[in-house]
Structure 1
Amino acid sequence: MAYESSFLEKESVIRLIPKLSFPAMAGMIAQALYNVVDAIFVGRGVGMLAVAGISIAFPIQMIIMATAQVIGVGSASIISRSLGEKNRDKAEKTLGNLMGATLVFSAVVATFGLYFLEPILRLFGATDAILPFAATYMKILFLGSVFFAFSIACNNAVRAEGKAYFAMITMLISAGVNIVLDPIFIFGFGMGIQGAAIATVIAQTSSALWLGWYYIRGKSEVPFLFKNMRPNYKILHEVTAIGLSAFLRQGAASISLVVINRQLAFWGGDAAIAAMGILLRITQFAVMPVFGLVQGLLPIVGYNYGARLFCRVTTAMKLSIAISSAICTLTGSLLFFAPQLLIPLFTNNREVLPLGINASRYMAIGFPLIGFQVMASGLYQAIGKTVPALFLSLLRQVLILIPLVLFLPYFYGLLGIWTAFPISDILAAIITLVLYRKDIKRLSTLCAEKAQLNKGE
């Protein structure tokens, strides 16, 4: 039986990269846009403390996302490689286990989060003034977290089949619904930050229903069968091992934000936390094209690696690194030269504005290096090399950034927190380059050997 996804080994890589990545970019930009719009409406409609509240909530949302990414990224890697190896049975069992594990783990996270809501928010840096806003927002988001996790995990599986446009539509639905409902609930119904949270949950539920329709109606190349939801411990172990790097990348970002928010509260107060919340939205929006690019790259690399087409893997890596580096250089320039145009979109608070503008310029310095780091980490995820993928996921945001954020303020105060970002970007890029060069050289050698063998035949 011929797979629909066989185009991943036949179509030219130069055409495949934009074909799979541009829809992912569009969808992820839309997702980031609604986070930006959410913060703008909250900042303009409720105030600085509400922006600080969603800043405290943001790392908790990232943990929910990380839970889904463990299953989604790990399963997608197995599915794409299984399709490349023509192993249909394993692909189907992996999809079933993805569905079951997502529902169980997301329900556990939501239950735990609701029960320990206030202690968690305190741990994440909420002050007495910020706590009521953060609690109102996260209580509603926890209630809808099952839909959020289901959308993230299943959309990874959709991309693994090469269905980039369907995955894009999933994200556009969520983003569109949220952007439309935000002003209605926040301003029209006067619900403030509660309205922003309700709009987000409705948006996430919409995309989950859309994906449910995709599988129930048999639109997927890998069919969903209820019998495959029965836990297969060998598959779940492989899923966890591969997806753990994605979890730790998201979890590491969350942990680093906890440390950053607590340090900001001590060295800069509520205004500094609000400034960081705004910058997180802006930088997330700026980096989303890169994450969209790597989402398109993963099935290409995973499929062709499974099919032992190593030349296509190296070509895909070179092209994706060039594109991502160009994107990050452009967005880094905007963050450095035009923060005075960006920050006022969210707030006109006289304390927050100068802090945000100053921080943006420091954070922009290392931004051009981020694209390469994301692509290199994506290579290891796609080919199932869990140890380097895990290490790179922890490198920048835990092993380097957290110690700098804890150490530098004792010498430079609040400025030490801002300078920790470019230093960590530069150090992480150097270490990543050392690892990547070794493995890309190995793949290039395999590519040359196979080309020589084919020539001899």
Structure 2
Amino acid sequence: MNDLTQGKPLKVILAFTVPLIIGSFFQLAYNFADSMIVGQILGQTAFASVGATGSITFLILGFAQGLTAGLSIVTAQRFGAKDYDGLKRSFVHGLSLSLGVGLVLTVLALTFLHPLLELMQTPAELIDQSQAFLTAIFGGAIFTVLYNYLSNVIRALGDAKTPLYALIFACLVNVFLDFSFILNFHMGVFGAGLATIIAQALSVGLLVLYIHFKLPYFQLKREDLKLNKKDLQRHVSIGFPMGFQASIIAIGSLTLQVALNKLGTDAIAAASIATRTDQLAMLPMMNLGQAISTFTAQNYGAKKYHRILEGLKQSLIVNLAWSVFYAILLITFADFFSALFIANASQNVLNLASTYYVINGICYWVLAILFSLRYFIQGLGKSFAPTLAGFMELVFRAIVAIVGLIYFGFPGVAAASPAAWFGSVGVLVPTAIKLSRKLKNGEKV
């Protein structure tokens, strides 16, 4: 375990962030392995069919990811306050909510999958393969939800390394199964999705074993398996708004995907490439934000308010520096990044992807601010402002995607995400300033 209430703020935040970054790159390797193997072996159409599923996956599983992150904030605050009885109750309530939500999401996703693909106007040549891939992914959604919850509560105790080890193992399994299912068993994109879910299930198994043998805080007896109204309300009040926040953002992504679908397969393929390179930019910023959240939650529980502000300021500077560096790298070597995903991609696809890089890359600094402030506010247990910021992302992304499609084509649609970042930051900045003033004065927020 790692107590983030001790030591120099930036040093402990970065030490916590590094395993998160490594873990996220391995998590990204799940998607990259699927995409690269599908693109290189099955071709551009199969690659586009997988790419067309990203916003739907985000809509369904993004809710669970936001929910589990919110549930773990309560855990981190109680760990920082040394409230170990409350810590165990937090685990019981969070686990119960995660299991329930995971089962509900599985049923809903599989029931409405085909109508949702049609509603998004997925091109006819892609829809069957898109449905096959998503059937595998959503069929095992419970494992994805459990992995996210168990990882988040372990990180809430300051341990970012154990979820990383489980993820590395699962990633290696995923790549092996990708090749086996696609090359040897000829299972197509369904095999790619199935490989991901099997690997995710194995990572859950490893985390369960770790908790059983190493974490007395979370080792449960029959008498621990009780829910009470007060704890349930506390977890729901933070977890569900964060889940809805992710879903609101995902709805904006669905609007963006619909606009791309109207532009045809080349635009979908280019955007699929570009969004994956976007993830390379976002992950370090998001991971540093997640570290800020845990750091903030633990220190808020320990009532070390000035320490929170010092850590936030220093982390924000680091995030801004990364955003500028990566933008320069991506725009300079655009074709190299694009060639990672599709063999012999058409020149039109490469040109469209490069356009996307420029439009998004010059606005990464806004994204750095967004991640830093959103996670800072969430770490304090405040959910309204991040949820409102997510709603603003939806509005800005949808409006710009629709207007951009009509008047500017692909460049207009590509500008939708930067517009969404500006809309979100417009809510987060004044909220963060208000909360920071209270913390500076030694007041609870």
TM-score, L = length of structure 1: 0.91
Percent identical among aligned pairs is: 23
1:239 aligns to 2:235 (yes or no): yes
Secondary structure at the residue paired with 1:200? helix
Q: Which moved more, 1:196-205 or 1:212-221?
A: 212-221
- Give the match for residue 389 of structure 1: 386
Q: How do residues 181-196 of structure 1 correspond to structure 2 at under 5 angstroms?
A: 181-196=177-192
Deviations 1:12-32 (A, max 9, x none): 213211221111111011111
Q: Which moved more, 1:123-132 or 1:367-376?
A: 123-132
In structure 1, which of residues 69, 75, 91 is the aligned counterpart of residue 71 of structure 2?
75
1-structure distance, mates of 2:207, 2:24: 16
Q: Check 1:427–1:441 CA distance in 2 against 1; reply closer, same or farther (3 A cut).
A: same
Residue 56 of structure 1 contacts residue 125 of structure 1 at CA under 8 Å; is this kept in 2?
A: no
In structure 2, which of residues 386, 397, 400 is the aligned counterpart of residue 401 of structure 1?
397
- Give the match for residue 295 of structure 2: 300
1:345 aligns to 2:340 (yes or no): yes
Q: Which amino acid in the other structure matches residue 329 of structure 1? A: V
Residue 285 of structure 2 contacts residue 368 of structure 2 at CA under 8 Å; is this kept in 1?
A: yes
Query: By how many angstroms is 1:419 displaced?
Result: 2.5
Residue 96 of structure 1 contacts residue 226 of structure 1 at CA under 8 Å; is this kept in 2?
A: no
1:51 aligns to 2:47 (yes or no): yes
In structure 2, which of residues 325, 328, 332 is the aligned counterpart of residue 333 of structure 1?
328
In structure 1, which of residues 128, 134, 144 is the aligned counterpart of residue 130 of structure 2?
134
- Give the match for residue 321 of structure 1: 316
Query: By how many angstroms is 1:427 displaced?
Result: 4.6
- Give the match for residue 123 of structure 1: 119
2-structure distance, mates of 1:187, 1:102: 35
Query: By how many angstroms is 1:235 displaced?
Result: 2.3
1:371 aligns to 2:368 (yes or no): yes
In structure 2, which of residues 267, 271, 281 is the aligned counterpart of residue 272 of structure 1?
267
Q: Check 1:414–1:67 CA distance in 2 against 1; reply closer, same or farther (3 A cut).
A: closer
- Give the match for residue 454 of structure 1: none
- Give the match for residue 173 of structure 1: 169
- Give the match for residue 413 of structure 1: 409
- Give the match for residue 453 of structure 1: none
Deviations 1:420-446 (A, max 9, x none): 333333454354333322322332232
Instruction: Give unmatched runs, 5+ long, in structure 1.
Output: 450-457
Secondary structure at the residue paired with 2:269? helix
Residue 135 of structure 2 contacts residue 190 of structure 2 at CA under 8 Å; is this kept in 1?
A: no
Q: Check 1:282–1:87 CA distance in 2 against 1; reply closer, same or farther (3 A cut).
A: same
TM-score, L = length of structure 2: 0.93
Query: By how many angstroms is 1:213 displaced?
Result: 0.8
Secondary structure at the residue paired with 1:129? helix
1-structure distance, mates of 2:10, 2:172: 30
Residue 264 of structure 1 contacts residue 272 of structure 1 at CA under 8 Å; is this kept in 2?
A: yes
Secondary structure at the residue paired with 1:231? coil
Query: By how many angstroms is 1:241 displaced?
Result: 2.2
2-structure distance, mates of 1:378, 1:345: 31
Q: Check 1:40–1:354 CA distance in 2 against 1; reply closer, same or farther (3 A cut).
A: same
Q: Which moved more, 1:301-310 or 1:332-341?
A: 332-341
Residue 65 of structure 1 contacts residue 152 of structure 1 at CA under 8 Å; is this kept in 2?
A: no
- Give the match for residue 8 of structure 2: 12
Residue 385 of structure 2 contacts residue 428 of structure 2 at CA under 8 Å; is this kept in 1?
A: no
Q: Which amino acid in the other structure matches residue 170 of structure 1? A: A
- Give the match for residue 84 of structure 2: 88
Q: Check 1:191–1:99 CA distance in 2 against 1; reply closer, same or farther (3 A cut).
A: same
Query: By how many angstroms is 1:362 displaced?
Result: 1.2
Deviations 1:205-229 (A, max 9, x none): 1111011112222435343345444
2-structure distance, mates of 1:386, 1:246: 6
Residue 297 of structure 2 contacts residue 380 of structure 2 at CA under 8 Å; is this kept in 1?
A: yes
Residue 34 of structure 2 contacts residue 193 of structure 2 at CA under 8 Å; is this kept in 1?
A: no
2-structure distance, mates of 1:353, 1:226: 58
Residue 242 of structure 2 contacts residue 383 of structure 2 at CA under 8 Å; is this kept in 1?
A: no
Residue 336 of structure 1 contacts residue 365 of structure 1 at CA under 8 Å; is this kept in 2?
A: no
- Give the match for residue 259 of structure 2: 263
Residue 60 of structure 2 contacts residue 109 of structure 2 at CA under 8 Å; is this kept in 1?
A: no
Q: State the aligned residue count.
A: 442
2-structure distance, mates of 1:424, 1:66: 17
Q: Which moved more, 1:339-348 or 1:212-221?
A: 212-221
Query: By how many angstroms is 1:245 displaced?
Result: 4.3
2-structure distance, mates of 1:32, 1:285: 8
1-structure distance, mates of 2:59, 2:415: 25
Q: Which amino acid in the other structure matches residue 273 of structure 1? A: I
Query: By how many angstroms is 1:202 displaced?
Result: 1.2
